């Protein structure tokens, strides 16, 4: 009996230990539509005693969300992961890296900063096979390889960055009831979108609400329009060359993209309040016209975050919805998507850091956040049934159907351009200044800072 008691006590202790280990997991292993096989596969990595530090920009609820993902890695491998969030991440990571005391992994909101650190020899390249994995497992895979590939201190290019958690900007918002009442269909191509715009005008209504106001950042919504248009009339290679100024800002291809934006924003018949109101209307107030009675506009192009500024109580998917900002059928450039996202890189190499980057490839690393809120991923191996928010699931479908993904161009440009004269130049253009003149002025500034 004595031996039985000891055996039972050991079993109880083991059971209690497992329960304690599992209690911080958001979703119980084995339950739901999660890819639990990818979680089980992580257990082949024995990282007991391994400590991994991660620094990123997420605080508050987002910090809790990333930690909910990290717990699964800890549970499976035995590693101890410490995530720290900072509202001054961009400054902190540079200070820590240059002082020789960086975290193992850093989460960059913009690829440009990661590229800067790589050029100084402050990032560790990812294994060579990672690029092939991304091509095979991410929608528009080559786009993500390109965005994570930087020149090192020796000038040689290598893959340093792995993208995890993405945002989509190529969206047009509308009120389904308004479309239904007027008999309008959601356009599938840019040609159809322009035809719908003209049809709304012919019906005596106003198709668009556009606002560029944003305090000291006034003008940035127009840069998103121009970036989307660059991807719809030019190749991805042209877009990339533009963000580095290999394709000058005053090149005819860029001027044409600016004028594509102007075709919508500088037409009094197309915009609520007339073209003169575009530059002075705050971007947060701009979508209100969708919900007026009668509607002051029928469409509003803006990123996935804009419902924050919809009238209180608006239910996305019912009271408001969105569709993909379409591409030209005649251009044969596929379905490009403009967006943003976080790129993860190793700033202090270790066995644990390498293992955690491998973890980010696993479906479970994506699905745990997907099943909560605000997470989009280009990973084609995830089970999208775990989404609980149909709106987010629909956005992710746009991302997974993309042929090309490109990062917000202004964020890739030098600050004096992307967060400076590009903004102000678009305000000047919306106010009536010639596109070629605006582009030449921006190019002149770029040349002055080289």
Average pLDDT over residues 115-138: 97
Same domain flag for 197 and 95: no
In a domain, 18, yes or no: no
pLDDT at 95 (0 to 100): 97
Quote the CA–CA distance of 17 and 20 in Å, as a whole number: 5
Q: Give residue-wise pLDDT tens across range 317-371.
A: 999 999 999 999 999 999 999 999 999 999 999 999 999 999 999 999 999 999 9
Rounded Cα distance between 377 and 144, Å, is 11
Using DSSP, state whether 166 is helix, strand or coil: strand
pLDDT given for residue 101 in this prediction? 97
Residue 1, domain member (yes or no): no
DSSP 3-state percent helix, strand, coil across the chain (nearest 5): 50, 15, 35
> Are 327 and 232 within 8 A, CB to CB?
yes
Whether the pLDDT of residue 4 is over 50: the answer is no
pTM for the whole structure: 0.90
Nearest by Cα to 148 from 137, 134, 136: 134
pLDDT digits (tens, 9 = 90+) for 187-238: 999 999 999 999 999 999 999 999 999 999 999 999 999 999 999 999 999 9
- Other Cβ atoms within 10 Å of 195 Cβ, number: 12
Give the list of residues 6+ apart from residue 256 with CB closer than 8 angstroms, or none: 233, 234
Length of the chain equals: 450
What percent of the chain clears pLDDT 70, i.e. is strictly above it?
95
Q: How many C-beta atoms lie closer than 10 Å to residue 411's C-beta?
A: 19
Residue pair 381/89 in contact by the 8 Å Cβ criterion: no
Question: What's the mean per-residue pLDDT of the chain?
Answer: 94
What pLDDT score was predicted for residue 213?
Answer: 97
Q: What is the pLDDT of residues 28-47, one digit of tens each?
A: 999 999 999 999 999 999 99
pLDDT at 110: 87
pLDDT, residue 23, reads 53
Q: Is 37 left (phi over 0), alpha (psi -120 to 50) or beta?
A: alpha
- Torsion of the alpha carbons at 25, 29, 32 and 35, rounded to the nearest 10: 110
**pLDDT at res. 41:** 98
CATH number of the CATH domain containing 439? 3.40.190.10
Which neighbouring-strand residues pair with 336? 404
Q: How many helices (H) and strands (E) does the chain have?
A: 19, 11
Closest CA to 346 of 338, 364, 358, 362: 358
Which one, of 296, 246, 304, 251, lies nearest residue 271 by Cα?
296
Lowest mean pLDDT among 3-17, 67-81, 158-172, 433-447: 3-17
pLDDT at 450: 76
Residue 265: band (very low, low, confident or very high) from pLDDT cuts 50, 70, 90 = very high
What are the angstrom distances between the C-alpha of 53 and each of 56, 107, 257, 296? Answer: 10, 11, 43, 51
Q: Distance (Å, rounded) from C-alpha 274 to C-alpha 111?
A: 37
pLDDT of residue 13: 35
Confidence of residue 277 (pLDDT cuts 50, 70, 90): very high
How much is the pLDDT for 6? Answer: 31
51/103 Cα distance (integer angstroms):
11
Residues 398 and 421 in one domain: no
246 lies in some domain: yes
Residue 153: inside a domain, yes or no?
yes
pLDDT over 50 (residue 11): no
Query: What distance in Å separates the CA atoms of residue 359 and residue 356, rounded to the nearest whole number?
Result: 5
Q: Quick check: is 369 in a domain?
A: yes
Average pLDDT over residues 270-279: 97
Domain boundary among 407, 423, 439: 407
* 213 plus 243 within the same structural domain: yes
Residues 311 and 178 in one domain: yes
Cα-trace Rg, the chain: 24
Mean pLDDT of 429-442: 98
Same domain, 129 and 264: no
DSSP string, 178-189: HHHHHTPPPPSS
Q: What is the pLDDT of residue 121?
A: 98
In this structure, the answer to whether residues 181 and 136 fall within a common structural domain is no
Domain end among 407, 425, 441: 407
Is 445 found in the same domain as 302?
A: yes
Is 135 in the same domain as 190?
A: no
For residue range 348-363, list pLDDT tens digits in order.
999 999 999 999 999 9
Residues of the chain with pLDDT > 90, as a percent, come to 94
**Same-domain pairing of 400 and 440:** no
Q: What is the pLDDT of residues 401-418, one digit of tens each?
A: 999 999 999 999 999 999
Q: Are residues 316 and 205 in the same domain?
A: yes
Residue 225 contacts residue 410 (beta carbons within 8 Å):
no
Q: Are residues 234 and 93 in the same domain?
A: no
Indicate the number of domains in the chain.
2
- Any domain includes 268: yes
Query: Is 38 inside a domain boundary?
Result: yes
Is 25 within the bounds of a domain? no
Domain coverage including residue 391 = 32-167+340-407
Give residue-wise pLDDT tens across range 298-307.
Answer: 999 999 999 9
- Is there a single domain that holds both residue 90 and residue 224? no
């Amino acid at each position: 009996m004595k031996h039985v008691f000891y055996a039972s006590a050991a079993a109880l202790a083991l059971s209690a230990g497992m329960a304690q280990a599992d209690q911080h997991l958001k979703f119980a292993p084995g339950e739901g539509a999660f890819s639990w096989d990818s979680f089980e596969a992580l257990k082949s990595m024995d990282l007991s005693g391994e400590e991994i530090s991660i620094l990123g920009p997420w605080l508050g609820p987002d910090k809790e969300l990333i930690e909910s993902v990290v717990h699964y890695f800890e549970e499976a491998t035995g590693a101890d992961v410490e995530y720290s969030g900072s509202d001054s991440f961009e400054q902190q990571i540079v200070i820590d890296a240059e002082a020789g005391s960086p975290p193992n992994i850093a989460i960059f909101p913009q690829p440009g900063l990661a590229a800067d650190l790589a050029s100084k020899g402050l990032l560790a390249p990812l294994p060579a096979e990672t690029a092939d994995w991304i091509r095979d497992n991410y929608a528009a895979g080559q786009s993500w390889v390109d965005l994570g590939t930087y020149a090192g201190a020796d000038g040689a290019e290598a893959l340093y960055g792995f993208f995890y958690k993405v945002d989509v900007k190529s969206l047009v918002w509308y009120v389904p009831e308004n479309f239904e009442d007027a008999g309008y269909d959601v356009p599938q191509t840019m040609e159809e979108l322009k035809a719908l715009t003209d049809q709304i005008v012919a019906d005596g209504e106003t198709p668009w609400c556009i606002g560029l106001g944003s305090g000291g950042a006034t003008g940035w919504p127009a840069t998103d329009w121009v970036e989307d248009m660059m991807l719809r009339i030019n190749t991805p290679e042209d877009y990339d060359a533009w963000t580095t100024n290999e394709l000058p800002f005053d090149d005819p291809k860029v001027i044409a993209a600016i004028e594509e934006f102007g075709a919508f924003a500088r037409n009094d018949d197309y915009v609520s309040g007339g073209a003169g109101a575009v530059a002075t209307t705050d971007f947060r107030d701009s979508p209100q016209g969708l919900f007026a009675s009668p509607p002051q506009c029928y469409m509003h192009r803006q990123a996935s975050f804009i419902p924050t500024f919809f009238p209180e109580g608006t239910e996305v998917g019912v009271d408001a919805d969105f569709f993909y900002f379409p591409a030209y059928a005649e251009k044969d450039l596929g379905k490009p998507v403009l967006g943003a996202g976080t790129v993860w890189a190793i700033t202090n190499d270790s066995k644990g850091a390498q293992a955690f980057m491998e973890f980010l490839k696993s479906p479970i690393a994506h699905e745990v956040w997907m099943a909560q809120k605000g997470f989009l991923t280009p990973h084609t191996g995830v089970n999208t049934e775990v989404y609980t928010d149909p709106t987010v699931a629909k956005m992710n479908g746009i991302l997974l159907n993309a042929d090309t993904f490109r990062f917000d161009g202004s964020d890739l440009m030098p600050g004096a351009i992307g967060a400076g004269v590009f903004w102000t130049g678009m305000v000047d253009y919306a106010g009536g200044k010639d596109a070629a003149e605006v582009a030449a002025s921006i190019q002149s500034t770029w040349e002055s800072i080289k």
